[in-house]
Amino acid sequence: MADAPDQVSITLDGRVVEVPRGALLIAAAIEAGTYIPHFCWHPRMKPVGMCRMCLVEIDTPRGKMLTTSCTTPVADGMVVETSSPVVKKAQEGVIEFLLINHPLDCPVCDKGGECPLQDQTLAYGPGDGRFVEEKRHYPKPIPISDLVALDRERCILCARCTRFSEEISGDPLIEFVDRGNHVEVNTFPNHPFTSYFSGNTVQICPVGALTARPYRFRARPWDLEAVEAVSTVDSVHSKVSLEASMNEIVRISGVDCDPTNQGWLSDKDRFVYEHLLADDRVVVPLIANGDGFREASWGEAVGLAASRLADLGGAVAGLGGARSTNEDAYVFSRFLRGVVGTPHLDAQLDDGLAPEFAAAVEPRALIDDLDDADAILLWGPDLKEELPVLYLRVRKAATAGAKLVVVHPRRTGLDDVAAHTIRYRPGEGPALLRRLAAGEGDLAEARDALGAGKVVALVGRPGLAEPAELAEAVAAFALTLDDARILPLVRRGNVFGALDMGLAPTLLPGRVSVDDAERRRALAARWGSLPDGVGMGATDILEAAASGRIGALVLLGVDPVRDHPRPDLARRALERAFVVALDLFVTDSTRHADVVLPVAGLGEIQGTVTNLEGRVQKLNRVVPPPGQARPAWSILDDLAAALGSELEADAVEKIFEELATLAPAYEGLTWDRFDWAEGRDGVVVPLEGVTPPLRHVPSDPGLAVVSERPALHLARVLYDDGVLVRHCPSLASLAPEAAAHLHPRDASVLAVREGDRVRLEGVGVVELPVVLDPTLAEGTVYVPFNLAETAALGAVPSVRIDVVREAGS
Amino acid sequence: MSSPIAHWDPEYQRRAATIVERYPDVRSAVMPLLYLASLHHGHVTEEAMEEVAALTGLTAAQVQSVASFYTMYKRERVGRYLVSVCTSISCFLRGADEVLAAVEGATGVVDGETDDEGLFTVEHVECIGACGGAPALQVNYEFVEGVTPAKAAELCRWLRDARPEVVLGDEMQLLFGGRPSFDPGAPEPEGAIAPVPAFGPYGSARPGTGGGR
């Protein structure tokens, strides 16, 4: 009998092992080193016992019985046989049965070579079947969405995909249809499988029934060369394997990293690699030439950039770095401050949170804190649209019983699992917050839900038209609760890493305030010099550039014309200033550049990145950069050399070593640490015993209420017209239609119906069709941010609406 | 937002509201709502499944999964008279195959299909629990037991000629049946209107309210 209270002992094939109490037999056996074949069971989903492959013999009072080990919890003293003659016969029978209808078209099946059915037929099958009848036939494959194809002949009806859709992602658009011998998995007619998470079903399908259309017939699994990395599509940093064939990334698969993605990815994480192969990727240095560009040598391009930067002295500013690695960001920070000598730099575009808040909010939550939270407050972006894998984790916690309170101007993806949903008109957040804090009226229950036990507050900007300080105020409220931790929400790739590397006017590398004299001395000693004072943030930089006070801008993977709340200002700034852009593409912003330098992208470089928890993980390299593209740090090193300085950036390991010495929050990290054992799950900084100088405890900034109508809710959608999605053919077509969403009552006041056109005037003017949205707060217009048709609108607290009347009506 | 079933008969809308209210987990309302939707549409159409999905907050795929599992949710157009011939073991031994062939012959409709006019649907079904009166068949789920091929054909011709608005098991048994499995007792007051069962917890369909068409 087991000694530890949370352990039981079972006899597994004659061997006595200690296993966790309450575990499923299949999980316990596999953990103990005895593999039990299975198809339908998946460690991240509830068991169903559908495929019967995991049958084992268990001693019962009535003798030995065949039982599905995926539905049987372990019990103390249980005696289990996993490979007795009876079990083997059962396994052979199950395989023979599963193959009755399976087409055995393995030579042309994407799954062939990594197929559980293939592998387990070899290992556990009878080697022959007695069924000679005609197999089931269906048209194959049929597209069930733009991304996924379904081959019903191959399906073994394990229900992994249908369970994933219902249990994990909460959008059950594929289901079993019909009964008995006619059962098939399918969608509803004209309701395609438009889940943001559909690619996961392809990955967990134990046969080739679901295949990813972008990957079909691109490679054989044994040809793939794979490395581990994390997805830098958003700041959750889901663990992935980057898989390449013939020096091209052809697939991204999710890797189960317990503290972050637990194996799942959004389809954007999964298919974003397509942009790396885009025809119009910049692969040689470009120099502006009239309306376009001409190709140039590295020497000429870097020389031109350096000479103009040198001429301008310190009247230079840097934007970007939030999509780069920590090493790129660190070198960018050192280049701007130490070489160019400017304090004006910003990784964000006034579309995120205050740098101190995002980088150093205390006490900061881990994603794992969601799992044992009693309540979760989400006052920020619609996670399904902005941080989809975090949406899955919140969904899981809420389904398991955490009381979720969602505060947002309209319906979010999590409303169906929320205990309380609160709507408000953007601008009136501060007033709502005060009422929520006081538990007034209809908010009393939500306030009570937050009142007891452990609370995780997920705090960000619900929309771009709302101020960043709102998050500060919400966090300050959360800290008045008994036991609350804050998880700051900003979407962009490595924005937290960039802030940690000092890419903000108020921060130095390692979560250090820019006026920390001691740290300044240490940095200046290494960097040679450090400019005085607090520099300008993104908006001030753009204004200064537009008015000529800043003469040059260095852009590192940033698109202010599309991402800044004031696209017109960004355009004027870029038109007027001398612009050096390090980018993958000629974007709406970089087309105003004077020099465009091609950088290497995901899977083409090594480096570390830091997620929204402060978890540092490593990106590995699996393909060479195309053409003459290079890592940004190496380009910046050349630029520095041309300016007569030395950045010492000649190897990524060396840069990491330097930043781990100079950036206090990263103290104690080593480059190899992320490759082994627990380090593979990443390392949350600061490490135990390391105290970064900056600890930001939010306090209520006393925000004013803005109640102009109609308020603008301008929020991001997963598939927008941003530069990455636009260059992924499989994703670009998934962007939603641009529209002005109105509450039906507001629409009736304006006398417009669904489909009528309205003209919205914000920073710029856009004309959009009306969509009625009864879930939207009244007095609000919701417009998806950064679609081709909405990009000019800009983020303003309220807009002017004019109805476009057809002539003569 | 307007109700997804605003175009239904007000009585059906009222019943739907009662059903939705009855279950703490609205998912449980799917099956009774599918019955109602098929009363409105004549059978379980795609539109019907979408309406039930909207009423319950499920996806249409989930509703389709339920509707397609149960053979008595008809997803194809059903004739005014649904003739279900039992072909399970007792009826089979007593000549069900010949009965089915006779029904096919008299109606001109092959097993599993509906005629162009929309008068007959013929199907073979698994055991309908009338083994004592085998072979048995049902018209709109009303029983006729102890039929012969000749009587079954006669029944079909009668349906075609008389076009009864309501079919009554007792009446058909008297005219076309043989030995029943048990004494049916006093005649039932209600019959069935195609294509939806007249029995069950949701009340009989009322004559002339969208059942037969």
Residue pLDDT, tens place only, A311-343: 987 799 999 999 999 999 999 999 999 999 999
In this prediction, residue B3 carries a pLDDT of 86
Residues A377 and A386: their CA atoms lie apart, in Å, by 17
Q: Tell which A residues from 185 to 214 touch B, by Cβ distance under 8 Å.
A: 186-191
- Hey, are the CB atoms on B61 and A179 less than 8 Å from each other? no
Q: Say whether residue B59 is in contact with chain A using an 8 A CB cutoff.
A: yes
Residue A358: strand, helix, or coil: helix
Which of A299-303, A607-611, B26-30 is the least confident region? B26-30
Chain B residues in contact with A189 by the CB 8 A cut-off are 46
Pick from A176, A183, A775 the residue to mutate for testing the B interface (most B CBs within 10 Å).
A176
Residues A11 and A208: their CA atoms lie apart, in Å, by 36
Determine which helix (DSSP H) or strand (DSSP E) holds B121, and give its type and residue range: strand B120-125
Residues B119 and A727: their CA atoms lie apart, in Å, by 57
Q: What is the CATH number of the domain that holds A778?
A: 2.40.40.20
Closest to A125 (Cα-Cα) out of A157, A93, A156: A93
Task: Out of A459, A486, A513, pick the residue that ends a domain.
Answer: A486
Name the residue in chain B with its Cα closest to that of A183.
B69
In this prediction, residue B198 carries a pLDDT of 41
A793 and A649 in one domain? no
In this prediction, residue A809 carries a pLDDT of 47
User: What's the whole-number mean pLDDT along residues A119-146?
Assistant: 94
Q: Which tokens is B94 given?
A: 């007593």
In this prediction, residue B182 carries a pLDDT of 76
Which domains can be identified in chain B, with CATH numbers? 10-69 (1.10.10), 81-207 (3.40.30.10)
Q: Say whether residue B71 is in contact with chain A using an 8 A CB cutoff.
A: yes
Cβ burial, residue A759 (10 Å; 0-12/13-18/19+): middle
Helices of type H across A312-427: 326-334, 355-360, 383-386, 388-399
Q: Which tokens is A134 given?
A: 């005609």
Distance from CA of A37 to the nearest CA of B (A): 29
pLDDT beyond 60 at B204: no
In this prediction, residue A41 carries a pLDDT of 97
pLDDT beyond 80 at A214: yes
User: What's the whole-number mean pLDDT along residues A140-150?
Assistant: 96
User: What's the whole-number mean pLDDT along residues A10-19?
Assistant: 96
**Over the stretch A631-646, which tens digit does the pLDDT of each residue have?**
999 999 999 999 999 9
Asked if residue A618 lies in contact with residue A675, where contact means CB atoms within 8 angstroms, the answer is yes
A153, A162, A175, A193 from B61: Cα distances, Å: 20, 10, 6, 10
Chain pair A-B, CB pairs under 8 angstroms:
43
Q: What is the CATH number of the domain that holds A386?
A: 3.40.228
Q: Which tokens is A348 given?
A: 């964000």
Grade residue A103 by pLDDT with cuts at 50, 70 and 90.
very high
Q: Which amino acid is at A257?
A: C
Chain A residues in contact with B70 by the CB 8 A cut-off are 179
Grade residue B205 by pLDDT with cuts at 50, 70 and 90.
very low
In this prediction, residue B184 carries a pLDDT of 62
Q: Say whether residue A174 is in contact with chain B using an 8 A CB cutoff.
A: yes
Name the residue in chain B with its Cα closest to that of A193.
B61
Closest to A456 (Cα-Cα) out of A481, A492, A486, A426: A486
Residues B165 and A309: their CA atoms lie apart, in Å, by 92
Is the four-CA dihedral B140, B17, A422, A398 of positive or negative sign? Answer: negative
* Cβ neighbours, 10 Å, residue A369: 18
A743 and A668 in one domain? no
Total tally of structural domains belonging to chain A: 4
Cβ burial, residue A291 (10 Å; 0-12/13-18/19+): exposed
A575 and A443 in one domain? no
Closest to A543 (Cα-Cα) out of A562, A564, A559, A514: A564
In this prediction, residue B208 carries a pLDDT of 38
* Cβ neighbours, 10 Å, residue A577: 27
Task: Out of A486, A505, A527, pick the residue that ends a domain.
Answer: A486
Name the residue in chain B with its Cα closest to that of A774.
B1
Q: Say whether residue A96 is in contact with chain B using an 8 A CB cutoff.
A: no
What share of residues in chain A are helix, strand, coil (percent, to 5)?
Answer: 30, 20, 45
Residues A586 and A579: their CA atoms lie apart, in Å, by 13
Determine which helix (DSSP H) or strand (DSSP E) holds A802, and give its type and residue range: strand A800-804
In this prediction, residue A645 carries a pLDDT of 94
Residues A171 and A201: their CA atoms lie apart, in Å, by 12
Helices of type H across A335-428: 355-360, 383-386, 388-399
Strand B120-125 and strand B142-145: the pairing is unpaired
A521 and A474 in one domain? no
Residues A80 and A298: their CA atoms lie apart, in Å, by 67
pLDDT beyond 50 at B200: no
Chain B residues in contact with A416 by the CB 8 A cut-off are 57
A74: left (phi over 0), alpha (psi -120 to 50) or beta: beta
A619 and A533 in one domain? yes
Contacts of B206 (CB under 8 A, 6+ apart): none
Task: Out of A486, A512, A544, pick the residue that ends a domain.
Answer: A486
Percent of chain A with pLDDT strictly greater than 70:
99
Please report how the helices B149-162 and B96-107 are oriented relative to each other, as an axis angle in degrees rounded to 10: 30
Identify whether A435 is part of a domain. Answer: yes
A466 and A532 in one domain? no
DSSP A121-188: HHHHS-S-----SPPP---S-EESSSSEEE-TTT-----HHHHIIIIISS---EEEES-GGG-EEEEB
Chain A residues in contact with B58 by the CB 8 A cut-off are 172
Residues A664 and A679: their CA atoms lie apart, in Å, by 19
* Cβ neighbours, 10 Å, residue A439: 15
Identify whether A273 is part of a domain. Answer: no
**Over the stretch A84-93, which tens digit does the pLDDT of each residue have?**
999 999 999 9
Residue A698: strand, helix, or coil: coil
Q: Say whether residue B1 is in contact with chain A using an 8 A CB cutoff.
A: yes
Cα-to-chain-centroid distance, residue B194: 6
A621 and A566 in one domain? yes
Residues A133 and A129: their CA atoms lie apart, in Å, by 11
Asked if residue A653 lies in contact with residue A669, where contact means CB atoms within 8 angstroms, the answer is no
Q: Say whether residue A179 is in contact with chain B using an 8 A CB cutoff.
A: yes
Identify whether A167 is part of a domain. Answer: no
Asked if residue A655 lies in contact with residue A330, where contact means CB atoms within 8 angstroms, the answer is yes
* Cβ neighbours, 10 Å, residue A756: 17
A502 and A473 in one domain? no
Residue A638: strand, helix, or coil: helix
Residue A750 domain boundaries: 711-804
**Over the stretch B39-64, which tens digit does the pLDDT of each residue have?**
888 899 999 999 999 999 999 999 99
A622 and A740 in one domain? no
CA within 13 Å, CB half, A258: 8
Residue A187: what are its φ and ψ, rounded to 5°? -95, 175
A464 and A562 in one domain? no
User: What's the whole-number mean pLDDT along residues A18-43?
Assistant: 96
Contacts of A233 (CB under 8 A, 6+ apart): A266, A268, A269, A272, A493, A724
In this prediction, residue A1 carries a pLDDT of 52
In this prediction, residue A258 carries a pLDDT of 96
**Over the stretch A448-498, which tens digit does the pLDDT of each residue have?**
999 889 999 999 999 999 999 999 999 999 999 989 999 999 999 999 999
Pick from B3, B59, B70, B71 the residue to mutate for testing the A interface (most A CBs within 10 Å).
B59
Tokens 């096919």 correspond to what residue?
Answer: B104
Cα-to-chain-centroid distance, residue A708: 34
* Cβ neighbours, 10 Å, residue A22: 11
- Hey, are the CB atoms on A173 and B65 less than 8 Å from each other? no
Q: What is the CATH number of the domain that holds A676?
A: 3.40.50.740
Q: Which amino acid is at A184?
A: E
Residues A644 and A638: their CA atoms lie apart, in Å, by 10
Residues A153 and A162: their CA atoms lie apart, in Å, by 17
CA angle A648, A651, A652 (to 5 degrees): 110
A293 and A437 in one domain? no
Cα-to-chain-centroid distance, residue A8: 39
Q: Which tokens is A254 given?
A: 């999710």
Please state, rounded to an integer, the average pLDDT across all residues of chain A. 95
- Hey, are the CB atoms on A188 and B69 less than 8 Å from each other? no
- Hey, are the CB atoms on A178 and B69 less than 8 Å from each other? yes
A652 and A612 in one domain? yes
Identify whether A237 is part of a domain. Answer: no
Identify whether A214 is part of a domain. Answer: no
Q: Which tokens is A720 given?
A: 């927008």
Residues A572 and A237: their CA atoms lie apart, in Å, by 34
pLDDT beyond 50 at A48: yes
Name the residue in chain A with its Cα closest to that of B46.
A189
* Cβ neighbours, 10 Å, residue A729: 13
What dihedral angle (degrees, nearest 10) is formed by the CA atoms of B39, B42, B48, B49? 100
A2, A9, A10, A21, A76 from A17: Cα distances, Å: 9, 5, 6, 12, 10
- Hey, are the CB atoms on A177 and B68 less than 8 Å from each other? yes
Q: Which amino acid is at A409?
A: P
Residue A769: what are its φ and ψ, rounded to 5°? -75, 155
Identify whether A699 is part of a domain. Answer: no
First to last CA, chain B: 31
Identify whether A26 is part of a domain. Answer: yes
Name the residue in chain B with its Cα closest to that of A171.
B59
Q: Which tokens is A592 given?
A: 């105003």
Identify whether A243 is part of a domain. Answer: no
First to last CA, chain A: 85
Residues A421 and A439: their CA atoms lie apart, in Å, by 14
Pick from A188, A193, A415 the residue to mutate for testing the B interface (most B CBs within 10 Å).
A188
**Over the stretch A738-761, which tens digit does the pLDDT of each residue have?**
999 999 999 999 999 999 999 999
